[in-house]
Amino acid sequence: MNRPNTNSQTGGKISRSPWITLAILSCMGLMAMFADTMILPAIPDLIRDFKITYNASSWILASFLITGAVMTPIAGRLSDMYGKKKMLLIIVGIYTIGISVAAISTNFTVMIIARIMQGFGASMFAISFGIIRDKFAPEKLAVAQGIFSSMFSAGAVIGVAIGGTIINNFGWHATFLLVIPIAIVLFVAISRVIHIDMDKATSQISDKNTEFCCRFIHVRRDILLSESSSTTTEYDSRSGSINKKKATIDMMGAITLSITVISFLVALQFIQTVNAAASANVPIVIGFGAAVTISLIFYYDREKGNFSINRSQAIGK
């Protein structure tokens, strides 16, 4: 006799565990958006303390966004392979370290390194959507995802609203110091409270986390897939059997994705400084633009080959 799953629908009701999980993940999303927007009023202070130009200060935000754009689909795929909870803990841990480094940073270089580490935290949202999908019954899933998504706006509003007050009274370092204990508490809560049914997650082979992020950067998740390591399952319609395959991240695809996204976003950052007084940035913009073009051509050629292979396999079946 199969044991009842306490994390799924029972007797027309949802058990308490999914809602506790949602509360923890929502607090995590609230914290991340709160921390990211709270730093906005501190930009003038950072320009003064680090003795940087206004254009250079844009990298404080750009480094976070670029890292998040690159790591989100990769982390989503890794969570499918090695477990959502494990990857979420790793990402929250890196994010907490990044917040701590930013709080004690004394120069612009250290701040950028800290912001890159915080950029890893952006991928926690895609993994969280996958966890919510695994924990909730279909009829409650839309409500749960709506609640979680609303935390993004709430965190941004709170960060902007009180960020200026905190910076004015305690300095910009306090914006990061305030987040550190919250991040640690959430890390412990995720570790102790959130439990994922691995059998259920494996049988369903969730794609929602990687699909979620790839819609925003218009990259198919296929570019990150390869059949070589980490077990997945495939149903053979001819024999009626279930075959296990090895799957891992396609490193060439991940590198192509990274080069394309990084080059595109870096080019956009330099475009805003191209003028008569900063003509030296023109070759940089052209160089990164060429990198984007070459990466897209390589991506198209690679996808065209994959399509031909998949079509041949489908015809053979």
User: In CATH, what number is assigned to the domain containing residue 157?
Assistant: 1.20.1250.20
Pair 154, 33 in one domain:
yes
- Token pair for 131: 């966890």
Indicate if the pLDDT at residue 124 is higher than 50: yes
Pair 244, 268 in one domain:
no
- Residue 274 is predicted with a pLDDT of 54
The confidence band for 283, taking pLDDT boundaries of 50, 70 and 90, is confident
Q: How far is CA 232 from the centre of its chain?
A: 22
Indicate if the pLDDT at residue 205 is higher than 60: no
Indicate if the pLDDT at residue 272 is higher than 70: no
Pair 62, 171 in one domain:
yes
Given 249, 269, 294, the domain boundary residue is 249
The confidence band for 92, taking pLDDT boundaries of 50, 70 and 90, is very high
Pair 81, 177 in one domain:
yes
Pair 190, 106 in one domain:
yes
The confidence band for 225, taking pLDDT boundaries of 50, 70 and 90, is very low
More confident residue, 165 or 266: 165
Q: 7 in a domain, yes or no?
A: no
Once rounded to an integer, what is the mean pLDDT over residues 152-181?
Answer: 90
Pair 267, 190 in one domain:
no
Pair 216, 254 in one domain:
no
Domain count, the chain: 2
Pair 60, 209 in one domain:
yes
CB–CB of 49/108 below 8 Å? no
Given 249, 268, 294, the domain boundary residue is 249
**Listed range (147-156, 237-246, 283-292, 301-310) with the worst mean pLDDT:** 237-246
**Percent of residues, the chain, with pLDDT higher than 70:** 65
Indicate if the pLDDT at residue 314 is higher than 70: no
Q: 167 in a domain, yes or no?
A: yes
Pair 204, 302 in one domain:
no
Q: Which residues of 173-205 are buried (b: 16+ CB within 10 A; e: fewer)?
A: bbbbbbbbebbeebbebbeeebebeeeebeeee
- Residue 103 is predicted with a pLDDT of 93
**Listed range (79-83, 141-145, 234-238) with the worst mean pLDDT:** 234-238
Q: What is the pTM of this model?
A: 0.71
Q: 235 in a domain, yes or no?
A: no
Which residue segment(s) compose the domain that 255 sits in? 250-317
Q: 133 in a domain, yes or no?
A: yes
- Residue 302 is predicted with a pLDDT of 67
Q: 228 in a domain, yes or no?
A: no
Q: 10 in a domain, yes or no?
A: no
Indicate if the pLDDT at residue 233 is higher than 60: no
DSSP-assigned states of every residue in 14-83 = E-HHHHHHHHHHHHHHHHHHHHHHHTGGGHHHHHHHHT--HHHHTHHHHHHHHHHHHHHHHHHHHHHHH-
Per-residue pLDDT reduced to its tens digit, 9-25: 444 444 458 899 999 99
Pair 270, 245 in one domain:
no
Indicate if the pLDDT at residue 126 is higher than 60: yes
Alpha helices (H) in the chain, listed in sequence order: 16-38, 43-50, 54-57, 59-82, 84-103, 108-119, 124-135, 138-170, 173-177, 179-193, 198-204, 208-217, 251-271, 281-316
Pair 82, 173 in one domain:
yes
- Residue 94 is predicted with a pLDDT of 94
Q: 232 in a domain, yes or no?
A: no
Pair 257, 152 in one domain:
no
- Residue 212 is predicted with a pLDDT of 43
Output the average pLDDT for the chain.
75
Given 230, 249, 268, the domain boundary residue is 249
